[in-house]
Amino acid sequence: MSNATNTQVLLNSRPKGIPQAENFTISECPIIPPKNGQVLIRNHYLSVEPAMRGWICDAGNYSEPVGINTVMRSLAVGEIIESKSPDYHVGQHVLGMFGWQSHTTTDAANIDRVIDTSQLPISTALGILGINGLAAYFALLEVGLPKPGDTVLVSTAAGAVGSCVAQIAKIKGCKTIGITSSPEKIELCINEFGYDQAVSYNSPNFVEELANACADGIDVYFDNTAGRISDAALTLLNQRARVVICGTASISQWSPIPLGPRVERHLLVKRARMEGFVIFDYADRYHEGVKQLSEWILEGRLHYREEIKHGIEEAPDSIAALYRGDNLGKRLIKLAD
């Protein structure tokens, strides 16, 4: 293997706002042979996350920014093709922060988990059983605290996180309302993900349509967008409502911090709560989430969509595409079968 080539996507410049294709360069280099304690992984699927915007930007975030001229940070699933670790063997499928590259040579300690390939496709480890589904699971249940009969409003309702949130909320006996971007996605929300109602933020009557859909108020607002979508939602909170801030997809730049209507009075009068959520804080409970989500999928109670692009050359534009709302499911880059 050591003479074979590794194809990598490098960050070549720090974007202002949403990362674009031109912020990345595709480059080739020799595969590095694993040393003792290391494995060589051939990546099958690379992930694409809205959160990658934050992983790249210079502003304060929850992790160090990706360095210029280094491989773009990404979760990936792949197969071990060479192992110098006693803990792993060739042929195992594994998940980890392996980066946007065709091959990853890394310490075995950097493997997050071995993937059970017996029941569900390995791609699910990056979506519904990856940080998207896990974020939905822990953020809704631990921060949103839904009770049967609650109204749960979800922004980016058809997305990888939002669609999972809504289905878990439904399993927990809640009414679910989605905010999405198009009539096509409204259809998807209602027919595939079981939302009771969905509205489009691109409608000229969005604010009124949302108020009508939320006639009983909102008990949990699961926020993946921030911005004007949240501004409309906050006016509809019920007493003791919980706002889960899981993403800020509608704000392209946070430096300087954009202005919006102040939230203090809404929160005070409604005794409501807004709380931020980062999935990596729950790493030691992932197994619990994966187990429950897998069960629900196998029982047919939890549906997911994947939108798979083929070839690493799809990676550089893929974050921008997410923010354009092009996708109808978890966006993945497939490199190998």
Whether the Cβ atoms of residue 80 and residue 1 lie closer than 8 Å to each other = no
Question: 82 forms bridges with which residues in the sheet?
Answer: 40
Minimum CB distance to its own copies smaller for 264 or for 337: 264
Q: Which of residues 216-235 bind its own copies (CB under 8 A)?
A: 223, 226-227, 230
Interface residue with its own copies among 89, 271, 285, 324 (CB under 8 A) is 271
**Closest among 91, 89, 87 to 79, alpha carbons compared:** 91
Q: How far apart, in whole angstroms, are the C-alpha atoms of residue 38 and residue 85?
A: 6
Segment contacting its own copies (CB under 8 A): 102-110, 183-191, 199-207, 253-261? 253-261
| Contact call for residue 284 and its own copies (CB under 8 A) | no
Q: Which of residues 37-96 bind its own copies (CB under 8 A)?
A: 54, 60-62
| Contact call for residue 132 and its own copies (CB under 8 A) | no
Q: How far apart, in whole angstroms, are the C-alpha atoms of residue 4 and residue 230?
A: 49
| Contact call for residue 283 and its own copies (CB under 8 A) | no
Contacts of 269 (CB under 8 A, 6+ apart): none
Q: How far apart, in whole angstroms, are the C-alpha atoms of residue 52 and residue 47?
A: 10
Interface residue with its own copies among 278, 292, 303, 334 (CB under 8 A) is 278
Interface residue with its own copies among 14, 84, 113, 270 (CB under 8 A) is 270
* CA torsion, ordered 56, 59, 63, 68, to nearest 10 deg: 40
Smallest distance from the beta carbon of 294 to its own copies, in angstroms?
26
Interface residue with its own copies among 275, 295, 313, 326 (CB under 8 A) is 275
**Closest among 298, 323, 321 to 116, alpha carbons compared:** 298
The residue count for binding its own copies (CB under 8 A) is 37
Smallest distance from the beta carbon of 34 to its own copies, in angstroms?
35
Smallest distance from the beta carbon of 298 to its own copies, in angstroms?
32
Q: How far apart, in whole angstroms, are the C-alpha atoms of residue 129 and residue 133?
A: 5
| Contact call for residue 311 and its own copies (CB under 8 A) | no
Segment contacting its own copies (CB under 8 A): 9-17, 71-79, 163-171, 259-267? 259-267
Whether the Cβ atoms of residue 307 and residue 105 lie closer than 8 Å to each other = no
Element (H, E) at 51: none
Whether the Cβ atoms of residue 170 and residue 194 lie closer than 8 Å to each other = yes
| Contact call for residue 129 and its own copies (CB under 8 A) | no
| Contact call for residue 332 and its own copies (CB under 8 A) | no
| Contact call for residue 131 and its own copies (CB under 8 A) | no
Q: How far apart, in whole angstroms, are the C-alpha atoms of residue 5 and residue 62?
A: 33
Interface residue with its own copies among 30, 33, 149, 260 (CB under 8 A) is 260
Interface residue with its own copies among 87, 107, 187, 281 (CB under 8 A) is 281
Interface residue with its own copies among 52, 186, 246, 302 (CB under 8 A) is 246
Q: Residue 326 phi/psi, 5° resolution?
A: -65, -30
Minimum CB distance to its own copies smaller for 215 or for 268: 268
| Contact call for residue 257 and its own copies (CB under 8 A) | yes
**Closest among 173, 165, 171 to 144, alpha carbons compared:** 165
| Contact call for residue 274 and its own copies (CB under 8 A) | yes
Contacts of 257 (CB under 8 A, 6+ apart): none
Q: Which residues bind its own copies (CB under 8 A)?
A: 54, 60-62, 223, 226-227, 230, 245-248, 251, 254, 257-278, 281
